[in-house]
Amino acid sequence: MPELPEVETVMRGLKARVEGRRLDRLTLHRGDLRKAIPSGLAAKVSGQRVTRLDRRAKYILIYLEDGGVLLVHLGMSGRMVLGDRDNPVPHRPHDHAVLDFEGGIEVRFNDARRFGLIDYASQAAALETHPLFRHLGPEPLDAEFTGKRLAALLKGKKTPIKSALLDQTVVAGLGNIYVSESLYWAGISPKRLAGTVQGERAETLARAIRKVLTHAIDSGGSSLRDYVSASGELGNFQNHFAVYDREGERCPGCDCKTRIKRIVQSGRSTFFCAKRQR
């Protein structure tokens, strides 16, 4: 599933091309994805000018001039790919939505597995109470995301820190790849109880999360299976993984002889260095 850096990369690619343009037409080829698409959505948003684009957790937010917000989640395999008159997007199976913007700009939402979604909020002010957002924790790239804030969110939790960070009510947007990488650079074992990550340990982890996410965004995200950017290009961060999917390889940060290990936590693969991470 695309995580925060991949969604941020797609959002920025769209933002550069469609912010300020009128959405001439939204064409929907089906009435549902992971959940039903709101009835009458195409008529509601077609003709509206896009005032800005943003991201919340793993959602792309398209703000419209009438105050409404179009919400898009890429799910497991979703793509939003840009084209124009000179470089049209090839028509593919599973193109479930097409957004045509003034000036001949086109965005195709393709989702083979249909785990993505398209939704709508009538007012931007209502986003924080929207069913998709009201449970979400803080954004890890916001200035308010400090070690002190993270420690407070983790206090008293008896689950492993890896599981706690995957909980979207604790921190929004983190997924399996970037939690494994962040714990590595923070020197924290994924098996450590979340409630014990306090004080300087929490400060170190908050810094590591921001550093890993920033590096991943600068690299265009990670392309392992389906993910491509809005321009159709692959991400590059998978070439910079320290531990993720590196089972049996040498730890890049120490001379451990046991090499990188893989365990399963809550049904997800976790990669770590048992010597470096405590």
Instruction: Please report the pLDDT score of residue 246 as a whole number.
Output: 96
Per the model's pLDDT, the better-predicted residue between 204 and 238 turns out to be 204
In percent, the amount of the chain with pLDDT more than 90 equals 85
Mean pLDDT computed over 263-267: 94
Mean pLDDT computed over 155-178: 97
Indicate if the pLDDT at residue 35 is higher than 90: yes
Mean pLDDT computed over 35-41: 97
Instruction: Please report the pLDDT score of residue 6 as a whole number.
Output: 92
Per residue in 204-230, pLDDT (tens digit) is: 999 999 999 999 999 988 876 666 667
CA 89 to chain centre: 23
Per residue in 64-108, pLDDT (tens digit) is: 999 999 999 999 889 999 999 899 988 999 999 999 999 999 999
Is 3 catalytic? The answer is yes
What homologous superfamily is domain 4-129 in, according to CATH?
MutM-like, N-terminal (3.20.190.10)
Strands in 50-56's sheet, in edge-to-edge order, are: 50-56, 59-64, 69-73, 117-121
Is 190 catalytic? The answer is no
Which residues fall within 8 angstroms of residue 265, CB to CB, at 6 or more apart? Answer: 160, 162, 163, 190, 191
Is 58 catalytic? The answer is yes
- pLDDT grade, residue 252 (50/70/90)? very high
CA 68 to chain centre: 22
What pTM was computed for the model?
0.93
Which residues fall within 8 angstroms of residue 122, CB to CB, at 6 or more apart? Answer: 67, 68
Per residue in 153-165, pLDDT (tens digit) is: 999 999 999 999 9
Mean pLDDT computed over 3-30: 96
Indicate which residue of 2, 5, 140, 160 is catalytic. Answer: 2
Q: Which helix (H) or strand (E) holds 153?
A: helix 147-154
- The Cα 272–Cα 267 span in angstroms is 16
Q: Where are the domains of the chain?
A: 4-129, 147-272
Q: Which residues of 199-225 are buried (b: 16+ CB within 10 A; e: fewer)?
A: eebbbbbbebbbebbeebbebbbbbbe
Indicate which residue of 22, 207, 268, 275 is catalytic. Answer: 268
- pLDDT grade, residue 8 (50/70/90)? very high
Return the sign of the alpha-carbon dihedral for residues 159, 162, 166, 172: positive
- Burial environment of residue 36 by CB neighbours within 10 A (0 to 12, 13 to 18, 19 or more): exposed
Is 90 catalytic? The answer is no
Instruction: Please report the pLDDT score of residue 278 as a whole number.
Output: 95
Architecture of domain 147-272: Orthogonal Bundle (1.10)
Indicate which residue of 15, 17, 55, 58 is catalytic. Answer: 58
Instruction: Please report the pLDDT score of residue 128 as a whole number.
Output: 87
Instruction: Please report the pLDDT score of residue 232 as a whole number.
Output: 74
Which residues fall within 8 angstroms of residue 213, CB to CB, at 6 or more apart? Answer: 4, 5, 140, 141, 178, 182
Mean pLDDT computed over 47-60: 97
